[in-house]
Amino acid sequence: MTQSRESENRLARSFPTARPSGCPFDPPAPFTEAREECPITPLRYPDGHVGRLVTGLQSARTVLGDTRFSSLPAGKRSPVKVPGSELSTDALPPGMFVNMDPPEHTRYRRLLSKHFTIRRVRELRPRIQEMTDRLLDEMESTGGPVDLVQAFAKPLPTLVTSELLGLPEADRSQFGHHVDVLFSLSSSGEEMQQSMMGLGGMLNALIAAARKDPGPDILGRLTVETDLTDEELLGITIVLLIAGLETTTNMLALGTYALLRHPEQLAALRADWSLMDDAVEELLRYLSVVQIGPIRVAAEDFEFEGQSIRKGEVVTVSLPAANRDPLGFDDPDSLDIRRGATRHVAFGSGPHQCMGHHLARLELSIGYESLLRRFPRLELAVPAEEVGTREMMVTYGVLGLPVRW
C-alpha cells in the first residue's frame, strides 16, 4: 500500500483550466486523458495535498451521492491556486446549506424545496416571459450590434432571482458586481473580502426589510413561515442569489454561442421548436459551465471503486469531464440536440443536486426560444476567435458575445 501511495503521489496531475486551442466548448484535454486512464485518478492540490480527481460519469454520480464524502468546509481545498480563490475553512453563516451534511443539510432543503417544485416554477412562466420580452425589446431598439451578455444573458437571471427574493431594483447592479468578484479566480483577497462585506451588508438590509414588511417573495415567506434566524436567512439568501445568477447567465450566453457555431443544430431547432427541451438538456451536458467542483472531503477511511480512500482526502469532481464520458453518451464530444441527454450531471447529483434546476431549465428554454424567434438572422458580430472565454472563473462562459441581426 505504501508503494502504491508513493506511486500515486508521483503520478498526481494538477487541475487544468486551459481549453483546447480553437475548441472553446470542450473541457481541458487532461481531463480526457485522466478519464481514459481511470475514472478516479490522483490530483495534486496547490498546497501539495494529493487527493482525487473524478472524471467518469458513474463515478461522479456515486461520489456525489455517497455521504462518506463530506460537503463540510473543514479540510476543503481549491484545486486551483490563484490569489483570493482559496476555499475558506472559517465558520460560514449557518444557512450556507451547500456546505453542510445531513441532517442539517436536509433540514434546510426541506424548508426551501417547496419554493422550487415543478408546479411552483411553472407558475412563473408568464412573468419570466414578460421579463424576457422586455429585455429583447430594449435590445432590438438599439439596432445592434450588442453584447448579448450585458444586454440579455446577465440581466434576465438577475431580474428573475432578484424578484424571487425581493431584492430592490436599485441594488441589482451592485449585487451583480459582487458576484462577479467572488466567482473570479483572478480577484485578489482584498477584492473578495470587500465584495463579501458589501454583499453581506446588502442582504442584511434586505432581511431586516422582510422582517418588517414581509412580501410574497421567498425571503418574505421564510420570515413568516419558519423560525430561521437572521444569520440563517443570510446564508440561505447568499446561496440562492449566487446560484440563481452565475450558472444561468453563462448558460444563456455560452449556449447561444454554441448554437451559432453549430449552424446545423440551430437550423434543426428553428425547424422544430418542440426540440427546445431536448436542446436545453444537450446544451447543459455539452457545456457543463461549472468547471471547478463540486469538492468533497473523505469523512473516514474506506474502499471506493477499488481504491483506498483516506480520511481527509479531498475529492474534486469534474462535471465537464463526466458529461463527456463515452460510457455514458454516444459520441459525447458532438453537440446533438436530438440526443435526449437526461442522464447528465450538469446540476450535480445526489442530495446536493442544484435545487433550482427546474427554474434554470425554464429560464433557458424561454430565453433561447424567445431570442432565436425574435432575431431569425442572429449572428456573431465579430470573428469567432475574438470571443473571449472565462477560463479563470469558477463558472465557464464567454466574457462577452457581440451579436447582430
- In tens, the pLDDT along 186-198 reads 777 788 888 888 8
Helices (H) and strands (E) in the chain, counts: 16, 11
Mean pLDDT of the chain: 91
Q: Would the pLDDT of 83 be above 60?
A: no
Domain that holds residue 111: 2-404
State the pLDDT at residue 376.
97
- Reported as a single tens digit per residue, the pLDDT across 232-258 is 999 998 888 878 888 999 999 999 999
CA–CA distance, 35 with 326 (Å, rounded to integer): 10
Instruction: Pick the closest to residue 60 from 48, 69, 51 (CA basis).
Output: 69
Angstrom distance (rounded) from CA 234 to CA 201: 10
Question: Are 228 and 220 within 8 A, CB to CB?
Answer: no
Which cell is 296 given?
468533497
Provide, rounded to the nearest whole percent, the portion of the chain with pLDDT above 70. Answer: 95
Q: How far is CA 161 from the centre of its chain?
A: 14
Say what the pTM is. Answer: 0.91
DSSP 275: G
pLDDT higher than 70, residue 7 = no
Q: Look at residue 385 and tell me whether its pLDDT is greater than 50.
A: yes
The pLDDT value given to residue 89: 45
| Least confident window among 123-127, 165-169, 181-185, 375-379 | 181-185
What pLDDT is recorded for position 173? 79
Kindly give, in sequence order, each residue whose CB lies less than 8 Å from that of residue 391, ignoring residues fewer than 6 positions away. Answer: 17, 18, 19
User: Cα–Cα distances in Å, from 270 out to 153, 295, 374?
Assistant: 20, 38, 11
Distance CA 393, CA 296 (A): 19
Q: In whole angstroms, how far apart are CA 104 and each of 96, 98, 138, 258, 357? A: 10, 10, 44, 39, 21
Per-residue DSSP letter, 214: -
| Contact predicate 130/233, CB 8 Å | no
Which pLDDT score is estimated for 1?
43
The CATH number linked to 363 is 1.10.630.10
The residue among 248, 222, 233 whose CA lies nearest residue 113 is 222
- Total tally of structural domains belonging to the chain: 1
pLDDT value at residue 207: 93
Is residue 1 within 8 A of residue 267, CB to CB? The reply is no
Q: Are 124 and 141 in contact (CB under 8 A)?
A: no
pLDDT at res. 8: 67
Chain segment 142-198, per-residue pLDDT in tens? 998 999 999 999 999 999 998 898 888 888 778 878 877 877 767 777 888 888 888
First-residue to last-residue Cα distance in the chain: 62
CA angle at residue 100 from 96 to 103, to 5 degrees? 120
CA 218 – CA 206 distance, rounded (Å): 12
pLDDT band, very low/low/confident/very high, at 394 (cuts 50, 70, 90): confident
- Which residues make beta-bridge pairs with 41? 53
Residue range 300-340, pLDDT digits in tens: 999 999 899 999 999 999 999 999 999 999 999 999 999 98
Kindly state the average pLDDT of the residues 45-56: 95
